[in-house]
Structure 1
């Protein structure tokens, strides 16, 4: 359970850092730039702690898959990015893939 909480924290930090990238203005805003770099650094550090107890293939798939889906959703809901049926289906497929990897890993 501890690893799951750390992984969720890592995902949250990575998603927050990625969603904040536009505010860096190409890394010309020092405050936002520092926040983004720190968010990524702590996220990767947490992921490295998680892989001590969770297989890296599972941890990374969850971290990147959930993060990708979350950033795409945030982009659509709050950053004015487009969404169409194909993009939505692809996001669903990412989540299905992550779930499938977890189920396959649970049986190993």
Structure 2
């Protein structure tokens, strides 16, 4: 497996760790519940550790844009389905623009190294 594919795999794991940590952030109830609070700290630490390896291969701005964009979308999806938090039209359009931005970066940017 080449370095770029490995970096994207680590980026995916970092995104999953961050989104899962964000989910536990809700469950921690302001860090008043020990188990979810520990999960937040561990999962965010894993996410940043993985991101630190990703940026050795993928430029920081590109990696962070992908991480933030995909993370926002996944967090919104979890908020909608797990926590029953509604999304209005403006939120859905905004999320669509974020997804479009990530697609443009991956398809057309020469900064990503592919």
- TM-score by length of structure 2 reads 0.88
The aligned runs of 1:49-88 (5 Å cut-off) are: 49-88=53-92
The Cα of 1:59 is off from its aligned counterpart by 0.4
Aligned to 2:29: 25
Query: How far apart are residue 105 of structure 1 and its match?
Result: 2.5
Gaps of 5+ in 1: none
- 1:97 is matched with 101
Please give the TM-score of this superposition, normalised by the length of structure 1: 0.93
Per-residue deviation, 1:101: 2.3
How much is the aligned-residue C-alpha RMSD, in angstroms?
A: 1.4
Higher helix share: 1
**Equivalents in 1 of 2:44, 2:108: separation in Å?**
28
Structure 2 unmatched runs, 5+:
none
Deviation at 1:25, TM superposition (A): 1.4
Counterpart-to-counterpart distance in 2, 1:99 and 1:37: 30
Return the alpha-carbon distance in structure 1 between the equivalents of residues 97 and 31 of structure 2: 32
In 2, Cα distance between equivalents of 1:47 and 1:104: 22
Runs of 4+ in 1 over 3 A off after TM superposition: none
Q: 2:39 aligns with which of 12, 25, 35?
A: 35
Partner Cα separation in structure 2 for residue 43 and residue 105 of structure 1:
24
